[in-house]
Amino acid sequence: MTGQNILVVDDEPDIRVLLKEILDDEGFETRLAENAAQAREARRLRRPDLILLDIWMPDTDGITLLKEWSEDGQVDVPVIMMSGHGTVETAVEATRLGAYDFIEKPLSIAKLLITLQRALENASLRRENLGLRRGAMPLAEPVGRGRLMEQLRTSALRIAQHKTAVFITGESGSGKEVLARYLHEHSARAKNLFVPVGVAGLARENPDAELFGVEMDGHVTYGSLEQANGGTLFLKDIADMDLTTQARLLSALEQHSMLRVGGREPVNIDVRIIAATRRDLQAEVNAGRFRDDLYYHLNVVPLRVPTLHDRIEDLDDLLSHYLNYFVDREGLPRRDVTPGAKARMRDYRWPGNVRELRNLVQRLLILGNTDSIEAHEVSNALGGRPTQEVDVVPAGFDLPLREARERFEKNYLEYQLHACEGSVSRVAERVGIERTHLYRKLRSLGIDPRHIKESTRD
């Protein structure tokens, strides 16, 4: 629980001093506010990890302040209400507005600390669940006992102990985010947040708002950099960041402070950056699409995640992991993998890397009706795609030109829609197609953006 920032809002000086002494002893960083005006300013200056909020205050009561901070019935950090004159109706109203809990004065210190711990743990679990719904890989650490993965884990553990930025490269689906989480969990920042950001999915009309937050008309929306304060910010697809945002990010990292969009004063930040890309960032620098100064700032400690093809000796470990995961977490029926099926997998090139293997295991468990996964099932699921030993014609090269072009366009636009979470306007801007023409093209290819948008929310 150490290192997290607690904002105490209470008009009684004795209560504020007592709570600060207790929370500081427990390893928290405690800030104090005696009224709503000070609370607003403290929250504007820095995002707290949790708020202890008194209900009865002279200028604005705590319920009104909670309502002000609420968005769609939720607040962005856990809030614990405190009152010596509380009623059931007040507690119900506070909970409805998004408060985590309600405790009565005089305060029981033991109960307060337990409630604090549970509130912070609950917030952490909510973030993890949100990550899983968005497709985070169900891996606690890079799986595999082969030479390449042993070397990678050893390097990661050594690097984790330092504060420097880390730059991870590797093919799509190879496990770059898993490695980033492993670095975070073994660093001094492990008790604070790990915040993943897909740069390719940032709103094209205002990417700075999502990274740096917004301050407008007294209201504050915290961006990813501020949410990760004290922890780690993982920037996926860093090569897709536009040049203007690159300049602003570099300034924030060099100055250890930033301005929110529309903000008046700098906000101090202490964030470790882990950036990742599947592209050759040096080539992007040479082409003028990526700032060389930001590249050198991020590329202090480079790590490369090997392809599954290069570490095929880890196949058994990965299979075991995913079989257990889908059986235990999703209730799918357990099936053994026959030697022939494993041999077929070892011969495969795995262009989609570990992500493709995960999806294959899930598909075979869902569709299978026997106790064992056989080689022919693997071949059928892989669609006859190339193995290491067979020199085959590239996919689609044996089709008529018009059919090959349509297949490429369909796959290409589906990929872009997934990357932009189903937003046609963002895809149109990203790929350089007029929106009306893009809608016609999607209809002609049988692509429904609404289905893709819904799938990205699941």
Percent of the chain topping pLDDT 70: 90
Residue 146, phi then psi, degrees to nearest 5:
-75, 170
Going from the N-terminus, what domains does the chain have, and what CATH number goes with each? 5-133 (3.40.50.2300), 147-304 (3.40.50.300), 309-382 (1.10.8.60), 401-457 (1.10.10.60)
Percent helix, strand, coil in the chain, to 5, is 50, 15, 35
Q: How confident is the model at residue 139 (pLDDT cuts 50, 70, 90)?
A: low
Q: Angle 233-239-245 (CA atoms, 0-180°, nearest 5)?
A: 65
- Distance between alpha carbon 223 and the CA centroid of its chain, in Å? 13
DSSP, collapsed to helix, strand or coil, labels residue 106 as coil
Average pLDDT over residues 146-155: 94
DSSP output for 56-71: --SSS-HHHHHHHH-B
Which helix (H) or strand (E) covers residue 163, if one does?
none
How many residues can be counted in the chain? 458
Among candidates 84, 113, 103, which has minimal Cα distance to 12? Answer: 84
Which helix (H) or strand (E) covers residue 424, if one does?
helix 424-431
Which structure tokens are listed for 39? 């609370």
Q: Angle 332-333-334 (CA atoms, 0-180°, nearest 5)?
A: 115
DSSP, collapsed to helix, strand or coil, labels residue 296 as helix
Is residue 256 pLDDT above 80, yes or no?
yes
- 81 DSSP β-pair partners: 53, 102
- What pLDDT digit, counting tens, does each position of 65-123 carry? 888 888 645 577 899 999 877 667 787 888 888 888 988 888 888 899 999 999 988 88
Q: How confident is the model at residue 140 (pLDDT cuts 50, 70, 90)?
A: low
Tell me if 225 sits within 8 A of 46, measured CB to CB: no
- What pLDDT digit, counting tens, does each position of 285-321 carry? 999 999 999 999 999 999 999 999 999 999 999 999 9
The C-alpha atoms of residue 75 and residue 99 are separated, in whole angstroms, by 7
Asked whether the bond before 351 is cis by omega within 30 degrees of 0, the reply is no
Cβ atoms within 10 Å, residue 274: 28
The C-alpha atoms of residue 431 and residue 438 are separated, in whole angstroms, by 10
Is residue 388 pLDDT above 70, yes or no?
no
β-strand 214-216 against 219-221: which pairing, if any? Answer: antiparallel
The C-alpha atoms of residue 385 and residue 399 are separated, in whole angstroms, by 16
DSSP 105: S
The C-alpha atoms of residue 248 and residue 322 are separated, in whole angstroms, by 40
